[in-house]
Structure 1
């Protein structure tokens, strides 16, 4: 089930929730930017009252700069579950440091084949523009990501690139035909992700539930891309309660409403 943040029965939600998961870019923070102080403060406070997860397509280093580095001193890190690269990696705060619980890394051969296919198919479809912002293809260890406009593209350019998602779908289908042993899916506004088979945000949700011994139905997942083609939708398919937001401002209002009931 998916509901908008402003149409929720917050009393019922607060009574049933075991853990609250969040997408990162355009949900907790603007793309590749740190959480604003208004978000960081509420997020940190939330960790004192309930387990909190972040599941993002971005690499671990972005989780550090966007989330960890801007937490308030009051944040309860032991209640945090951090899953970068679409849940292919999982980190917890153990013995005073961030420890990797698991990592489903690609082999060198898989990385090479994925990178080659992404570039070849993007060029064939005319999705290899002359001007980009930053790196196009990034090896994140457990995930290879193509960002058509570059990793550092401004949000406005990303949103205008492929409004209906049709270009990304066609590109993902072409790459998937080259890589039958791997999982290929459209990621953010301009990105295609390649990882091990069966791993996406749905996998991350199921693993969180299994490893922490709670029913997946008692997880809330908040994201800005909850449509069926969006990279947050697999979390709902796995059984989590989906909460749709448009931006970090909506997320602040969602957290405030939850804190009123659980703090």
Structure 2
């Protein structure tokens, strides 16, 4: 299949997009917020406004706890939580609002034997490649149930340090390739600024947008997916390859501007 060309948000006709989309899905890190940081108030305001206009999903490689701290904790009472779809760990888990709490609709967890093999491969390959850094801020390997994530600088590394570590993704890609050779039955992909995600094969953001479409009773092509890693080796790209209407942003500031345009266009069409 030929690669999908994902346009920058600046190059899309937002009115035409809003005439056809019935849901919006966002990546989290470097799309709604900087890595592991909460959404800024301006972003939270736009995000809440969108939930009052149509279904909104968060599809991220991060664990559920990060969705809570980065997104949910920043929302005011004006957000329509019944219109929110939370899909952490690349959609291997799915949460919906039950009226007084977030209920887990499904979870596709990795068995213990596979988890041990994943952890062993991640550490061995990182050490062989010189990517097991001497200094780390917190644990390097995080068991997220349905996904194992390796963070080269540790889970709590400062954002500025993370962003300098692998700006062209070369380190993550070579590590992901090495681990994938060890674990051909599993899915291995470069993820956030310093991380590698390992999950059951077939569970990525393509799976997530298909599940979201099924839950909403719409076509995948009626979902607008917004993310920052839209090249073929990026972890947002599978959503575009699955047929979602994907657009690329460079960071949360772009996303705020895109949301302003979406809110304006959706409000005019209501």
TM-score by length of 2: 0.94
Q: Give the whole-Å Cα distance in 1 for the aligned partners of 2:188 and 2:243.
A: 22
Offset of 1:166 from its aligned partner? 2.4
Which residue is equivalent to 1:93?
A: 97
Question: Cα RMSD (Å) of the superposition?
Answer: 1.1
Q: Give the whole-Å Cα distance in 2 for the aligned partners of 1:20 and 1:243.
A: 11
Q: Give the whole-Å Cα distance in 2 for the aligned partners of 1:42 and 1:163.
A: 28
Offset of 1:24 from its aligned partner? 0.5
Which residue is equivalent to 1:185?
A: 189
Q: Is the 8 A contact 2:35 2:193 kept in 1?
A: no
Map 1:70-89 to 2 at 5 A.
Answer: 70-89=74-93
Tell me the alpha carbon deviations over residues 123-164 of structure 1, each in whole angstroms, 9 at most, x when there is no partner: 011110111122200001110000111122233322322233
Which residue is equivalent to 2:256?
A: 252
Which residue is equivalent to 2:130?
A: 126
**Worse-matched range after superposition: 63-72 or 164-173:** 164-173
Map 1:224-243 to 2 at 5 A.
Answer: 224-243=228-247
Which residue is equivalent to 1:137?
A: 141
Runs of 4+ in 1 over 4 A off after TM superposition: none
- The equivalent position to 2:151 in structure 1, one of 143, 147, 152, is 147
Q: Give the whole-Å Cα distance in 2 for the aligned partners of 1:157 and 1:61.
A: 22
Which residue is equivalent to 1:175?
A: 179
Which 5+ residue runs of structure 2 have no aligned equivalent? Answer: none
- The equivalent position to 1:13 in structure 2, one of 11, 17, 24, is 17
Q: Give the whole-Å Cα distance in 2 for the aligned partners of 1:187 and 1:214.
A: 28
**Worse-matched range after superposition: 164-173 or 187-196:** 164-173
- The equivalent position to 1:110 in structure 2, one of 111, 114, 119, is 114
Which residue is equivalent to 2:227?
A: 223
How many correspondences in the alignment?
A: 263
**Worse-matched range after superposition: 150-159 or 225-234:** 150-159
